[in-house]
Amino acid sequence: MFEDAEKGTSLSRAEYKAAVPALRAELLNVQFDLKNAGFPVIILVSGVDGAGKGDVVHHLTEWLDPRGVETHAFWETSDEERERPEYWRFWRAMPPKGQIGILFGSWYTNPIILRVRRTIDTGVLDRRLDHITAFERMLTDDGALLIKLWFHMSKEAQYQRLRQLEKDRHTRGKVTPTDWKHHKMYDRFLRISEHAIRRTDAAHAPWTLIEAVDANYREIETGRVVLKALQERLQRPPTKATAPAERIPAIQRNAVLDAIDLSPLAPPQTLKQTLRRHQGKLSRLAWKARRKKVSVVGVFEGWDAAGKGGAIRRVTHAMDPRLFRVVPIAAPNDEERAQHYLWRFWRQLPRAGKMTLFDRSWYGRVLVERVEGFAQADEWQRAYQEINAFEEELTDHGIVLLKFWLHISKDEQLQRFEARKDVAYKRHKITDEDWRNREQWDAYELAVTEMVERTSTDYAPWTLVGGNDKRSARVQVVQTFTRALKKALG
């Protein structure tokens, strides 16, 4: 595969100088058009050490308008990064729509290096590469243009290049002992890289190999590859969102919800005692989680007036306010709208030993956004998969993830709506929107059923809570927290 990038292609200084002005003008033009095109551009810069990746990016950013480009290097992780799932640092670096993000290192570095060092075996490597494929698919499905560049040079050329960098006092600092260590492992590194490239080379996110020995050639070629990718993407007519016929889930649409027991679990006095006991436990467990650096993410979904707020309060009641945050999810702000819909949730993930409780969550994509038509059919349909992958990342990192659907009957909701009008401090809790949502009860029922069906995984199962009896609902929620934490804390 790499033979194509060992042909000795080069450009003279004159050819280089002749090519730059037109290339630059065209790059600036497409960048200008990009601003309003509504998608982000993510350029991954990978390849062998010493292939001049820094120089290439250097010139690329010089040619472009710096106001629309950001370069991110993934050097040492900070503790804030280590305390979150691996991809958190990449989500932080995601360019918003209309902008270009150049990522040095990217999500490929770690799996390849770990395999080169034999820290992981081929099976793990492949799983991680498949995860990458799904991740990239998610980005491009959302409209992102992904340009993956691999800069190649032969082992001999790498040796010459490293020596040359070391000789020049201007560039000496760039060569690290790691570079030489990698050089010794060149063959193994190349073999594994080739495997990674082949496995992740997809129509939606193709790799481009660039011959890196000649500086002039690699720079112009990079500019041209980026230009071409952008031009093609900008010329592609916006894909009309095809709204396929609503798929009817195979199951009875309300089988899941109908199965929820809405009756009280026990007499009020018993429930009161149980709740108190579990809150006591939760209080201790929350401090223990902090000491052991175990994070918790709680997701609260449910019908309007199902008691999400009350349930969250019973959980937080048991905990020191320094240990948790409640994040209410309403309409995204403009910074969030310029990103993938999961971005706003990634940025809210708790640090080690802390808890984030989402009052509504990423499931809005397959609930309100689906029902109200804010998301296209293809968008919410692929969201199930995206959400499962996201939640797997959380739990793989050791985060305790708890998801609650608070269920009440339609009659119960009506009674609560009416009651809210009368209680002074609840009067702000009932809005016209609540009444409008109620009219869509059947559509939501279908959406909820499908959501539970498609996103109940072994690592992140839904807890379906019967909410007609408030006490019972709260006991179930708090109990779920204590049991999960107890299990996680050993």
Tell me which residues touch a second copy (CB under 8 A): 21, 24-25, 28-29, 32, 54, 57-58, 61-62, 65-67, 69-71, 73, 75, 78-80, 102, 104, 169-171, 173-174, 280, 283-284, 287-288, 291, 309, 312-313, 316-317, 320-322, 325-326, 328, 330, 333-335, 351, 359, 424-425, 428
| Secondary element (H or E) of residue 433 | helix 432-439
Positive or negative torsion for Cα 162, 165, 167, 173: negative
Comparing C-alpha atoms, which of 361, 372, 353, 358 is closest to residue 295?
353
Query: Shortest distance, CB of residue 173 to a second copy, whole angstroms?
Result: 4
Provide the Cα torsion 432, 358, 319, 427; round to 10°. Answer: 0
- What the block records as the tokens of 477 is 């929620």
Query: Shortest distance, CB of residue 326 to a second copy, whole angstroms?
Result: 4
Note the residue count of the chain: 490
Query: Shortest distance, CB of residue 421 to a second copy, whole angstroms?
Result: 14
Closer Cβ to a second copy, 38 or 328, answer by number: 328
Query: Shortest distance, CB of residue 22 to a second copy, whole angstroms?
Result: 9
Strands 100-104 and 41-47, by their bridges, are parallel
Comparing C-alpha atoms, which of 482, 484, 490, 488 is closest to residue 283?
482
- What the block records as the tokens of 431 is 């809005």
Instruction: Give the list of residues 6+ apart from residue 94 with CB closer than 8 angstroms, or none.
Output: 40, 42, 101, 339, 340, 343
Measure the CA–CA gap between 279 and 269, rounded to whole angstroms: 15
Give the residues across from 462 on adjacent strands: 403
Tell me what percent of the chain is helix, strand and coil, each rounded to the nearest 5: 55, 15, 30
Query: Shortest distance, CB of residue 44 to a second copy, whole angstroms?
Result: 14
Closer Cβ to a second copy, 297 or 464, answer by number: 297
Query: Shortest distance, CB of residue 25 to a second copy, whole angstroms?
Result: 4
Report the SS3 class of residue 477.
helix
Query: Shortest distance, CB of residue 356 to a second copy, whole angstroms?
Result: 11
